[in-house]
Structure 1
Amino acid sequence: MTGKLIAFLSLLALSVNCEHPGIKIKGNYELLEFVKNAVVNFVEEYASLSFENVEATFDIDDGNYKYSLINVSLNALTFGDASRISALPPRVLVFHSTSMGIALGGSYQISSGDSIVNSGDFSAIFTNNNFAAFVELTIQNEVLVAIPTNCVVVGNSQGAIVTGINAYLSPEHQINLNKVVLENLKNTFSSTVCASLRNYLGRSVNNFFATNLAGVPIISTVRMDASVYGPPATVPDFIEIGLNGKCYPGNDSTITYTFPRHALRAFSSSSRMLKLIAGEYTAKTLVHALHSAGLLNVTPAQIAQFVTIPINTLTMSFLMPGFRQYGVKPVSFQISIVNPPDISIASSGVTLSGMAEIGFTVNNNGQKIEALVLESNLTLSGNVIASTSTVGAQITSVQFTLAQKSSLVGDAPVAGLKILLDGIIKRNVVPALNTLLRNGFALPTIYGFNFTNLELALYDGAVELSGNIEGQLAS
């Protein structure tokens, strides 16, 4: 589950070699502190450690005795306030705690030869242990992996509490058994905890990186390859990661694009926890994927939400008498985007341009007749905005040309139709869309976390979204 947290923050997965990433993200010291707290909370709730049996022998006046600790397991693991996570160059994360608490429970057995002298259950609490783990983020076989390069636990027996040992044991046996717990068992902390860390990173976190994030769902029918684009970079209190940023429709991850990848600008001075810059490469692939999924077309039902004026063959016949051949019948129209539109990002706004077809269909007693098809070069301009937890947009300009493509009702008076459509778009469609877009769309909760307190800035060729992270890691 810690892998899910890292995935949410950095969307790390399969790596590909390339010149420039489509997206890059940067987290500051507040983000690292947030990560530390989230990881600590998760580990304290779900940690599990398996200890090997511990044995030691001591001589007492009446003979030689073996003291065994068996079935030792973790009751609780805490880190306290003296814990932090740091980023070190070139790509290392360091977790350090001087207040690690380990509570254990198990059984003890005292034997002499083949005879068991005494047995029972015990518990022990060790406080203020030192723990440090250095984890390198690197690339192996084109996959991001987190490798613990150094890990150590220095157990502290001072102030440790051991309970459950039979009070009727001789003082010598009690002293020896306590010594086995406070020294021999304590000395296994480093190997046990670090082995568990290596196993968890290899089995869960790295497996999550390699198998889950080459296809991050943007919406139900569009995914993004959010894999690492080159090695991550860490400097004191910051981490920066480049991502592939290629969007694709459905499960067609093999699709290739010819869009150029340009170097992304430097991050702004925003003080938010996490900053994300997306370039035009990612924007163009997103628009292409949306078009391939059929999500850029406007259906008659959607148009009816904005155009309340009834359109039928009678009203259309004032412009084109050929519609009279159908009597008085309903007419619907839809807008189909012929090719994936082009998108450009500038500091002044975002522009979409492409070829569209506008089809007028007559419902002739249940028979759908495509009576007229017009072609249009369409240019849509606007701005992208952000509020506390939503991202919205505003359309500022709609420009289009109009030409006839096919007709069953005679030649279209293109100039008159353009005036009619221009009025409908300006008076009905754009205001209704802006009302919807102004409210914005809440960014989804991912693995229990939300992106809040948002700031958005447009630059030539890129958009930057900054914000803070809130929430708790979902199990």
Structure 2
Amino acid sequence: MCVFFLLVSQLMSVWIVNTLKTTELPEFRGELDIGIGTIDFALSNMWIVQCSMSEPLLVFVKGTGVSVTVTQLLLAVTGSWATHFGIIILFQPFESEFSGHISDVLRQKICQATEQAIVDLERHLQESSGTDKSYFGSSVNLFKLTHPHVVANTYGTQKGEFYSSSSPSEPLFSPSAFDMQPAENYTLSLAASDFFVNSAAYAYFSSGLLQINIKDDVIPKSSPIHLNTSQFGIFIPQLCTLYPDMEMQVLLYARETPLFSFSSAEVDVHVTAAAKFSAVKHDRTLIPLFRVDVDSSFNGNSQIDNIHLTAAFNINNLTLTLGSSKIGDFNKGPLEKLLKMAMSTVVLPKLNAYLKIGVPLPTLHGFSFSNAEMFLRNGFVLIVTDVEAPRDMPSGL
């Protein structure tokens, strides 16, 4: 099931339960005709001390969103109950007469509080951000409910998916079903399938964000090789002859969507990329030299550290082929070794340093997570956590 669908469903439960538990029911006075006269009664100092509810049923409504139904709500209420008949104080003889009437009164008041809690939740959802600003300087939609999908459990079946805000389109790959068992000792269980993660990769790819220009000034000074034609002449001799002592630049970009796959042991990533090498003139215009195509795979692991999703990856395989060339053919073996070295000593350390800091877990406006853990499963990742609802929500009455 998509992250957003479970998130809304289970955070809605937390929100409603916490709202009811912090709601003081107003004092209520009334009367009951017992045939020989009227008994006055008063209910005061009432609080909900226990509250549990069934998981809200979220039904997908194409084009508009979801419909929410709560079918079961169990409560325990404490408070003061006073009755009198004229000047006589009464209670036990008429307890059976009062119980049904009092239950009706409480049910009406509690339903009002529950309805208000749902209205407040809707307001917080509307205030939540719908986009993720990435370090690439653009954005993609965090998630969107689309047509029915994938997960078989009691909550329903929906597909969660990332979209590019600039060029929304469906990926060529399809989701697979998986079975998620929520953790009983945590408030919230979230699952993100490999389809969900890969749809994010597709959104970035289709937006043209998976590319970077590499210039010599980003290469460590201690590196034995720098981006200039003289030094690259060691690997490609004709560079020195055709374009002597010129600065070089590399455009590195994904040729296809990077694909993630999850297993109980690790995360695997397959990346097909290309690198366009150019020489740089004094006026900063570029002279195309050659393009190499790169097929690579990585494996690693991920965990949650202080409510941040962290990861670390190792290179598993990297092969290089010559895609096109303006300078003729050349031996690709030395360049492949250089690329592997650059990946191991420059690219991956920088990536892992970023992933070590991690990114905050996705949440909704006002909610916070605690005691979060993550587990790898075949086809998906499972995140379990406790949830604290916003402290500024109205009491509902």
- So what's the TM-score if we normalise by structure 2? 0.69
Q: Structure 1 residues 277, 445: closer, same or farther in 2, change over 3 A? A: closer
Partner of 2:199: 285
What stretches of structure 1 of length at least 5 have no aligned partner?
1-6, 13-24, 55-76, 93-136, 161-185
The amino acid across from 2:359 in the alignment is F
Partner of 1:438: 356
| Match status 1:321 vs 2:237 | yes
Aligned runs of 1:160-171 on 2, under 5 Å? none
Within the candidate set 354, 359, 384, 2:276 is matched to: 359
| Match status 1:80 vs 2:37 | no
| Match status 1:388 vs 2:306 | yes
Partner of 1:414: 332
Aligned runs of 1:70-469 on 2, under 5 Å? 80=47, 82-87=49-54, 137=57, 139=59, 141-142=61-62, 143-147=65-69, 158=81, 193=109, 196=112, 200=116, 216-219=130-133, 221-223=139-141, 224-226=143-145, 229=148, 240=155, 242-250=157-165, 255-267=169-181, 271-300=185-214, 304=218, 309=223, 310-324=226-240, 325-365=242-282, 366-444=284-362, 446-469=364-387
Whether the 8 Å CA contact 1:275–1:465 is kept in 2: the answer is: yes
Partner of 2:39: none
Whether the 8 Å CA contact 2:47–2:78 is kept in 1: the answer is: no
Give how far 1:246 is off: 1.4
The amino acid across from 2:68 in the alignment is A
> In structure 1, what is the Cα distance between the partners aligned to 2:352 and 2:309?
13
Query: Cα deviations across residues 264-297 of structure 1 (Å, max 9, x unaligned)?
Result: 1232657332111222221221221121223332
> In structure 1, what is the Cα distance between the partners aligned to 2:383 and 2:216?
30
Whether the 8 Å CA contact 1:216–1:226 is kept in 2: the answer is: no
> In structure 2, what is the Cα distance between the partners aligned to 1:266 and 1:191?
35
Give how far 1:395 is off: 1.0
> In structure 2, what is the Cα distance between the partners aligned to 1:289 and 1:441?
18
The amino acid across from 2:229 in the alignment is T
How many aligned residue pairs are there? 349
Query: Cα deviations across residues 296-337 of structure 1 (Å, max 9, x unaligned)?
Result: 323326992668633212111222233233332221223110
Whether the 8 Å CA contact 1:447–1:473 is kept in 2: the answer is: no
Q: Structure 1 residues 416, 252: closer, same or farther in 2, change over 3 A? A: closer
Q: What is the root-mean-square deviation in Å for CA atoms of aligned residues?
A: 4.6
Partner of 2:86: none
> In structure 2, what is the Cα distance between the partners aligned to 1:265 and 1:150?
25
Partner of 2:97: none
What stretches of structure 2 of length at least 5 have no aligned partner?
30-43, 84-101
Higher relative strand content: 1
- So what's the TM-score if we normalise by structure 1? 0.59
Give how far 1:191 is off: 9.5
The amino acid across from 1:469 in the alignment is V
Where 1:469 maps in the other structure, the secondary structure is strand
**Larger CA Rg, structure 1 vs 2:** 1
> In structure 2, what is the Cα distance between the partners aligned to 1:150 and 1:265?
25
